[in-house]
Structures are given as C-alpha cells and as structure tokens.
Amino acid sequence: MITKEIKALFCAIVGAENYDDSKVGCLVYSYDATPQYQAMPEAVIAPKNAAEISAIVKICDNHKIPIVPRGSGTNLCAGTCPTEGGIVLLFKHMNSILDIDEENLTATVEPGVITLDMIAAVEKKGLFYPPDPSSMKISTIGGNINENSGGLRGLKYGVTRDYVIALEIVLPNGDIIQTGGKLAKDVAGYDLTRLFVGSEGTLGIITKATLKLIPMPETKQTMLALYQDLEAAARSVSKIIANKIIPTTLEFLDQPTLKVVEDFAQIGLPTDVKAVLLIEQDGPLEVVEQDMKKMADICKTEEAISVQVAQSAEEAENLRTARRSALSALARLKPTTILEDATVPRSEIAKMVAAINEIAEKYSLDICTFGHAGDGNLHPTCTTDVRNHKEIERVEQAFAEIFQKAVELGGTITGEHGVGMMKAPYLHLKLGEAGIAAMKAIKQAFDPNNIMNPGKIFAKDTKKRVVVAK
C-alpha cells in the first residue's frame, strides 16, 4: 500500500512529474503483449539513474511494495503484468547508448535503449550485434536481457545472454553492484552476469549493460525453399545441420501462416505450398556461396519443389520482414492471438510439428506454426476469442499437451519468451519439483521480502493461468 507519506518520498526522489498514480496512467501499464492478463499497479515511476532506483528500491523493501521493471511491454509470458500491484518502473529517461568501444568490441547502454537503435548505431561503425528479436523495433535492451530474448539469427549466433558481458544492478535491498567487465576472460567468483540474464526482473534491476560486439559479416545471401510435405521440410532442417552447415537463419512457416503473412505483407510469398524454409547464410563470399549451394542441394534431395535465392538485398529484406511480421499478421484474424514457443532438439522438429497439428485437430482449434526451426524453437500460434470461454478452455488444454509433448521429446516449455506467469504452471514439467526448489532458494537469498516482480516464474496455482483485472 502506497500511503501519502510514501508517495511524497517517491516524488522527492524522481520529481512529481515522474510519478503517476492516475487511473489512466496506471491502466496503460496494467498489461503487456500477453493475452488474458491484466492488473493495475498503484503507481508508475520513471527514474533517471541508478541512484534514484536504489533510493526507490530501499523504500519498497522497507514497506514490502512490489516492483515490476518494464521495458516496452512486448513480452509474451505476462512477465511485466503487475499482478500484485505495487509500482511499475519505467526506463524512458534511461535510454542512452553510453559507449561504443571499437578497441574492446563492446557497447555500453542503459536499459531503455531500443534494440534496433543500438543495432543501427553499432553497424554504422562496421560492427555487429546479432540478437534480433522480432520485436526489436520497439523492444528495449533491458527487456531483452530480462527475458534472454532470441531471434532469427539465434541458430548461428546465439541469444542475448551470449552477448551480455557486464551489468550494473540494483539489488532488492537497494545496493548497487557491478558484474563482469570489458573482458575476454573472467572467472572471479560466481557468474552473476549470467544469473541475472533471463531472471525476468525477479532478482534485481538492471541499470546498465555492456554488450559484446563482433565484426560485421562480409556478405549475406537469402534463400526460400518450398515444400508440399511438412515432414520433408523438417527433415531438411536436420540434414542441413547434420552436414555441418550452420546457417545464420533457418526459419519455418506452415501454409496457414504463409497465407496470412502474404495477405499482410503483399510481397509475393507462395501460398499454395504446405511449408517454406527461409534460409540465410553470412560470412566470406566464397563460404556463403558454397554453403548456399550445399543447402539448396539438400533441400531438393528432401523433396523441396522449388529453391530460390533472393536476387537483391531488397528482396531478401522483404522475406525477413515478412517472417518477422507473422505475429502481427495472425493477430488480424481473430480478437485474441496466443503465441507460444515450445522448443525441441532439431532432430525432433518433424515429430513436434506433427504433434501440434494432431493436438489442434483434437481440440478443434486453428493453430498456425512457424518459428526458428534451425534451433528447434517453434511458435504454435492459436487465433481465438477470449470471450468464447469454452474455446479458451480447449486452447489451455491444447497448449498444456503441446508443452508436455515438447518435454517428452527432450525439449522445453520456452525457448525465448520466458516463464513469467503464463508458463509458470508448466515449469515443473521441465525442472521437476527439486529444480524449482533450487530456484526458489536463489530468489529467497536475493529477495527475502519478495518485492521484485512477485508472482512470476513460480506458479501459485498450477490450474489457473488467467488473472482477473483488479
């Protein structure tokens, strides 16, 4: 509960103009991009630096006021929904690129920097930051770090955690710590940097990050392979990797997704095939051309009916943009779009795609499937209507079976979206009760008063996923 006295303390720290407890102001930050979840915070606070955040956190810790650190709210696991009230912490004033160090190949940024802005800034200097979540035009670096975001280039280059080498963090008691540095090697103590990446704001607040950069690849080529057989497309994915080729991007879209994306993007995507693979390779020109030829031959051997290489940078960019727009395109079909991310070993892609289709048919649902096939990360996406309660129940049952099947195949319940509240009821499928207990022990050690994004990751009720708005 934020009393008048506590409000006065917050305003003294950040200024009255950066404290908002109006109904309209709080409503804006009562939800994120996750369907079915909404809850009102008591206030929204926009600090200007780590010192202000430290002072805010000390007050919250003393009075047990929940804190939800929030970027642009693009996450899909209800990770920034303030389900237990308290304050939402915004980083709109902490959005500077502090340093691009060409000698050490690093960029140091504040958490509110837009991902694409940072990528563009480093590319101007001939450098490359590979993580590229589909939301990168609006998502923030702080949000990417909290959720350990992936992207289309994850197969070859890895995900956000592979590029975070140092952090400045405000702990739940208000202390400020530094982890890592501009170092190629550092084994001094526990790897706190990696612990905080993907912690979803439950252990502390990231106020600065140093990110690893690499040289810009010399060249890049893009290819589209068309299939009339879903399993043939999946076999191609496995065979490409088995032939020791690691493409930059290896994306999968099924026919329902293709039709919707083409209707949205209007770039001439084929809609009369069962599936397509979008494949990219980058690096030295000779290597790229050699790999593209090998991959084209593999796709044809595995019954691709057509393999086409993009003839211009514009055509290649259109294909990438179309893939990134899949969620936006699907969201036009029905009032509610639920996008998930079940991940399996690459060798099990065909079985997983088949299982998703069987489960969709079992529950009479429309589920489109696309995703990062090269790293086994599929995005089964259900278009539905939250007002249709009977159908929503079937959706819940279907996704529970999809997650169970992914784990049975040696996979996991989430490859890049995070756990938040949406996946919390299913975490035991992957970790078991002992694994969850170990994670809770870490949470308790850092945050004994449970003020940091409470209610996320650890499920209170494994039978419910929907939170009723307060």
Spatial contact of 293 and 404, defined as CB atoms under 8 Å apart: no
Spatial contact of 34 and 25, defined as CB atoms under 8 Å apart: no
Q: Which residues of 303-337 are buried (b: 16+ CB within 10 A; e: fewer)?
A: ebeebeebeeeeebebbbebbbbbbebbbebeebb
365's torsion region: left (phi>0), alpha (psi -120 to 50) or beta?
beta
pLDDT value at 461 more than 60:
no
Q: Return the minimum-mean-pLDDT range out of 150-154, 312-316, 386-390, 398-402.
A: 312-316
36, amino acid identity? Q
Q: In this structure, what token pair is assigned to residue 438?
A: 């170990």
Of 324, 328, 50, the closest CA to residue 204 belongs to 50
Residue pointed to by tokens 């915004």: 90
Residue pointed to by tokens 């949406």: 422
Cα–Cα distance for residue pair 148/152, rounded to 1 Å? 14
Note the pLDDT tens digit of each residue in 307-348: 999 988 888 888 888 888 888 888 888 999 999 999 999 888
pLDDT value at 134 more than 60:
yes
Q: What is the pTM of this model?
A: 0.93
Kindly list the distances between the CA atom of residue 281 and the CA atoms of 301, 389, 398, in Å, as whole numbers in the listed order: 19, 45, 35
Note the pLDDT tens digit of each residue in 57-85: 999 999 999 999 999 999 999 999 999 99
pLDDT score recorded for residue 318: 85
As beta bridge partners, residue 106 has 101, 212
Order of strands across the sheet with 106-109?
97-101, 106-109, 205-212, 164-170, 176-180
190, amino acid identity? Y
Cα–Cα distance for residue pair 371/376, rounded to 1 Å? 8
Cα–Cα distance for residue pair 190/443, rounded to 1 Å? 15
pLDDT value at 93 more than 50:
yes
Cα–Cα distance for residue pair 334/386, rounded to 1 Å? 10
| Nearest-5° Cα angle at 385, 383 to 390 | 110
